[in-house]
Amino acid sequence: MNDCSVLLKHFAKGDDKELLKFARCVNEHQLYEIINSQHPQACEAMQTIIRVLSMDKNEGSEKYNFVIKHCISLISEEQLPQKVLVGIVGYLLVEINLMSTSLLLDLCGIFTEAIKSGVCRNEKYLELFAKVLCVISLKEEVFCKEGNESIMPGPQCKAYILNKVCSGRWHPNCVVPMASMFRGIEMNQEELHFIIEKMIRMLPSINILELPPLVYQLLLMSNQGFKRTIIAGIISYMTNVNIQIRKDSDVSNEIAGFSDHLLQPLKGTIILHITYAIKQDQDLGKEFLKYLKENPNNLSSFTLALSLAITRISRFRDTVFDILKSNIIKAYRDSERLVSCRWLRDSVHIPLTIEKFALDVIENSSLGWDQVTQGIMELGFILIDGFLSKTQWASSQVRYLGTTIILRCFKVHDIKREEIMEQIIDRIISRATAVVTHYISIFASIVNLINQYSIGIFSKLKQAIDHITSLSFQTAKEIMFILLPLFKANFLLRDYALSVLYKAVFSRSTEARKIAALGMIILLKAYKDMKHYDGFLNQLSQPAVSCSQEFNLVNIHSQSGSNVSHKWVKSEILRHLQRCLSYQASVRETVYKGFYYIAFAAPELQHFVSKILIKQFHKIYQSDSGLLPPLNFNTCLHTVNDETYVVEPMPTLIHYLYRLYAIKKPNEEINSSMKNINLWLNSVVSRMIKCEIEDFQLDKSADFSSATIIGRRNLILCRLIAQVYEVLIEIALRRNDFALADCEEAIRLYERYSQLTQILQESGNNPYGRSVKSKSGLDTMMSFDCISMLVRIVFGNGSINYRESQQIGSHDVDLNEVFQHCRSIGRIIFKAIIGETVHEAISVNDDVIRNKSLSLLQLETFGCLINTIYEHLSNKIEIFLEDLDILNGHTDDENEMTYALITVFQKFVNSALNTGTEFKMAHVAMTIISSLLQHLSKSAHRQFQNHYEWLLAICKHQVVDDLQLVKCFVDQLFTISNQTKDILEVLLTMSIDIHEQLGDVEEDVEIEKHNNFAIATEYTAAPTVLILVSSQIETALDNIDWLVCHLNSLIFDENIDQAESSRIYNQLEMTLYPKLTIVAQCLQEVMKSAIPTKTCTECSIKGVTRFYCSMVFLVKHHIQLFARKRGNISERFENLVKVSGSQVTPKVYAMLTYLQANRVVAENADDNKKKLKRKEKTNISSSSCGNVLRESRIIPSLVYAIENYEAHLIRLETKSKVKLMQYFKRSTSRDFKIHGATLQTIIDDDSDDDASKSPIKPSDKKDGNPRKKTKLKN
């Protein structure tokens, strides 16, 4: 019988004496064999041994300790059967309460070593460790043998053991079980914080697969406290986990493969854990929101995904989106600030990565991040909606980010496509036309991505078509052109659109009728047999060009039936279009344009279209050659309820009738109807030349008042006739390729046109002026190719071949052909500008441009071309610059060509400055230069440097008397200095020159003049240059405040090591204080200047007030540092305080005294005027009143800012023990007191004025009439 059987036999008999005797006889080796035996009752045997040995206080204690330790080692090895393991652990958990303190301490040592070696992966094992710590904490006194032997209370001993455990090295395999163990231990806040920080530090060392369990345990521990620490630690590690994986992948290919396939699902699991924890504990969610709000620069793909997942919790949804929107716009504004300020960009490096993070979230949403899909889509729409009407660069970038998110979600997530389309269509329908353009561009991009078999998407498109007639005409037009590729590919969608448009033809709304007419014209484009239709309809909707070019025409005959059915559909469309000719003038204009394009694209329909247009023309044409005028204008007007309307757009009809005649091919025979059109139009031209103003029942004596019925009718008639003359001018010029006789007729037509416009100008109703717009909605009836040809004739050299111009394009059809005209005009105008073509002076009759020279008009035209191409055709600017041939084709670099063009206009400016007369031309040239500079890339450092040197030379050596030109030079110098140099040194030099030119506030002070900038003269220094300097000072203070905020975030950033944070902080501090000192010196010079009180006092005082506010912000920052025990008063900061206190503040008080003295002088002058003119009661002039009111607001604000600054300095002085207030001296200028003598004088003057009034007659009192106040004359 073995020892285990003997032991169990005695245990069964219940003989404790025999059990004790047996326990004393066996040695440790036998005990080892008994415990390790595979006996079915090994658990009972172990419990029996422990119970028996615990009874022997003398000889059994050592064996008892041996058995306990050996059992714990067996538990850690995980070699026991589960049933035995559970039984042993359960018994030991009870037995630990009876163990001696020394044994408990020994067990703690065993557990600590096991944690280091990594054998404590069994949760049961660590459960015993937790129990041991709990029992130790309940002891009153514990004798600790390690280190300095001492007796300590149980809780202190437990804290000591925990400190020892956390200070040691943990095996990565033990981290997750340890986290579970610590949740069962009662700990104070200090111990808990120590444990949590240890576990967060262990995150990088554990197996990547164990991240979700460890995060889960940490989130459970957050119930005990330190939620912010846990959230920040998890986010910080998950943000950098990709970097850690990348480092490990350099060593192991297995890790690299793992990271690509499983890392994102693991992150998704962690996001789920955090989201679920926040649902259970809303305080945890609040801490996350605080972290997100206080760390805007720490945004990452993981943080963004976690934020979006939390938006599914309704309580936090709006708050999270608001914070994200705020952080995103801040990121773009910070990027814009860094780009615009060189010294700030050199000091701080903040990469703009928000777009990359957003795209990463979208891509990862298909790899286990499903919970963020809805949030990222909503974020895209929120970013677009929130910044839709704002024009700043940062706002436009946020809109672009929102657009990118929406389009990417549409590509990646099939399930969200229908919802995205619905959201966009709802916004297009419900928003105003002014802000819907961006959504239309998104809609166009999405149409390019639509699969024609996506049934759900097409149901949403039908919804858009249902509402299309309720939209504005411009919006509906763009939507129809965007849907055109789908109309070509899907006959069901096309037929549905036709049915909607047919109904709209009979609508009572004019807009709906116009949309119906245009829509039917567009739908004709969906047929393959109309081969040339694509280019011409694009004129009606330029934004839709890009999204339509990627689609090719498809053969739809197999889908919609035979050619017969197609002809029937086209005939139905044409029949409805013909019906529209009985509607309003705007509807007819749309139909006339459409008919022309139909005839051009489908020659078989040309005869049909010409018959309709000729029929309409005969309604207004008087065939008798002896009648003047040849057109019946009265039939084009209709009066209803004393209001006159245009019912027949005669200019549009004649214009497109002639273009229909001009469609003929070179070798094509002209049919009789076309010959008749030519004869009729020639007759109209010749007879309209003979017409006098009186023939139209209009002359200068006619009524043109908009307040009378006849006057309003005459105005409309006059505009209509003027537009007809404009159309006839083009017909006369183009019918024989600009022949000499035709040009003479065109001049005579223009003379008649000028007479009409002169009448309208004298009446204040010029149709092309700023006050009134054309009722017909046409700015000009002359086509772009005709204007282009006129420019070539007037400014070009050599003969003009009109047939060559037709190759460029004679129908104004799309952006490409518009660009060709811009190229032609730009090339000719530029040659005229640089002097390659010379022309005699051209007389100008128009009052708007009569006072402008020809060269000035050329410059303005070229500037408009440059702005137009940059705004609408930016992708073709390189071609435009190449056409100018500035560098003779030596380079194709856009920056080089742009700067070469800038140098041309620099020469114009130099020439104007040398002559001293052509300041207007120089101003226009500088405007063009500013526009070109905005489109130089960031890499054009040499070009910016050259232009800066040119500006600097002008400002230093050139005296300019034109204030607008001075403003251009100085403003551009400051802008480029801010982008490429250190602007503060330039501002300081300019401030010194302002002081020299204006003089000192103290008259007895002599100023040594250096004349650093010749452009700053006594005439230009104030207000022109001073206002610009003050504006740049405020901008510099904004940048400094931003840098202080960045320092605050750096100090309180929990993700940066303290040593690294201190290093970066010191570097930024070395930049901050010198810059702020220079600003203080600039303000010192400004405050010393004798500024004219009526011009720029306000901007100067606001600048210095802003300086003291920035100083308060900086002092608060230092107070916060001392509160965190990290404060230090550096020598640079002390020097800054010294400059502000001993140099700036005294000059501010001197300036206030100067302003007060000047105001008293002005008031005395007004009093003298009042005494001379007693009848005109004038206490103070209106300008003086305005100055007093402004000073009453800004001067107290300045004094308060100084007081506030000094108050915060006193607080900082108390905390730092550094005497900072020694540089300040209290002045009497800030004391406001009432002078009794002055007040009494004012009261006496008022009494004298009252006595001088006429007395009330006694009869008035008798009659009981109320006393009337005498009205004073001003």
pLDDT tens profile 620-670: 999 888 888 899 988 888 888 878 889 999 999 999 999 888 876 554 555
Give the pLDDT mean for 821-848: 67
- Which CA distances in Å does 229 have to 126, 221, 269, 979? 25, 11, 20, 40
Q: What is the pLDDT of residue 1262?
A: 39
> Percent of the chain having pLDDT more than 70?
77
Average pLDDT along the chain: 80
- 510-543 pLDDT per residue, tens: 999 999 999 999 888 766 444 444 444 444 444 3
Max Cα separation, the chain? 150
Q: 94: burial class by Cβ within 10 Å (0-12, 13-18, 19+)?
A: exposed
**In terms of Cα–Cα distance, which of 908, 994, 986, 891 is closest to 943?**
891
Least confident of 55-59, 772-776, 855-859, 1072-1076: 772-776
Residue 304: pLDDT band with limits 50, 70, 90: very high
Say whether pLDDT at 90 is over 70: yes
Say whether pLDDT at 1200 is over 60: yes
CA atoms of 501 and 473, how far apart (whole Å): 13
Q: For the CA atoms of the chain, what is the radius of gyration?
A: 44
Give the pLDDT mean for 284-298: 90
Q: What is the pLDDT of residue 1244?
A: 67
Cis peptide before 1074 (omega within 30 of 0): no
Residue 552: pLDDT band with limits 50, 70, 90: very low
- 428-483 pLDDT per residue, tens: 988 777 778 889 999 998 888 876 556 678 888 888 899 999 999 989 999 998 88
Q: What is the pLDDT of residue 994?
A: 93
Residues 6+ apart with CB under 8 A from 749: 685, 688, 689, 725, 728, 729, 732
Looking at per-residue confidence, does 1243 or 438 come out higher?
438
Sign of the Cα pseudo-torsion (831, 835, 841, 846, in order): positive
- 184-232 pLDDT per residue, tens: 888 888 889 888 998 998 888 888 888 999 999 999 999 988 999 999 9
Residue 955: pLDDT band with limits 50, 70, 90: very high
Residue 858: pLDDT band with limits 50, 70, 90: confident
Which residue's entry shows tokens 């369990």?
Answer: 213
Q: What is the pLDDT of residue 334?
A: 92
Least confident of 32-41, 81-90, 514-523: 32-41
Sign of the Cα pseudo-torsion (60, 61, 62, 63, in order): positive
Question: What single string gives the DSSP state of each residue in 487-513?
Answer: HHH-HHHHHHHHHHHHHHHT-S-HHHH
Phi, psi of 127 (to 5 degrees): -65, -35
Say whether pLDDT at 596 is over 60: yes
Say whether pLDDT at 809 is over 50: no
Q: What is the pLDDT of residue 386?
A: 87
Looking at per-residue confidence, does 20 or 846 come out higher?
20
- 699-756 pLDDT per residue, tens: 767 787 778 888 888 888 888 999 999 999 999 988 887 788 888 898 899 888 888 8
- 678-688 pLDDT per residue, tens: 889 999 999 99
Give the pLDDT mean for 394-407: 92
Q: 517 with 578: CB under 8 angstroms? A: no
Sign of the Cα pseudo-torsion (703, 706, 707, 709, in order): positive
Say whether pLDDT at 1066 is over 80: yes
Looking at per-residue confidence, does 1172 or 985 come out higher?
985
Give the pLDDT mean for 9-16: 59
Say whether pLDDT at 818 is over 90: no
Give the pLDDT mean for 18-45: 62
Residue 25: pLDDT band with limits 50, 70, 90: low
Least confident of 107-111, 713-717, 803-807: 803-807
Give the pLDDT mean for 138-156: 76
Looking at per-residue confidence, does 1050 or 36 come out higher?
1050
Q: 780: burial class by Cβ within 10 Å (0-12, 13-18, 19+)?
A: middle
Q: 743 with 684: CB under 8 angstroms? A: no
Give the pLDDT mean for 800-809: 39
Is this model's pTM higher than 0.75 or not? Answer: yes
**In terms of Cα–Cα distance, which of 61, 62, 51, 152 is closest to 92?**
51
Residue 1136: pLDDT band with limits 50, 70, 90: very high
Say whether pLDDT at 838 is over 60: no
Q: What is the pLDDT of residue 325?
A: 93
Q: What is the pLDDT of residue 1273?
A: 36
CA atoms of 259 and 245, how far apart (whole Å): 7
Phi, psi of 553 (to 5 degrees): -65, 140
Q: What is the pLDDT of residue 1181?
A: 46
Phi, psi of 125 (to 5 degrees): -65, -50
* Two structure tokens written together for 459: 């149901």
Say whether pLDDT at 866 is over 60: yes
Give the pLDDT mean for 114-141: 80
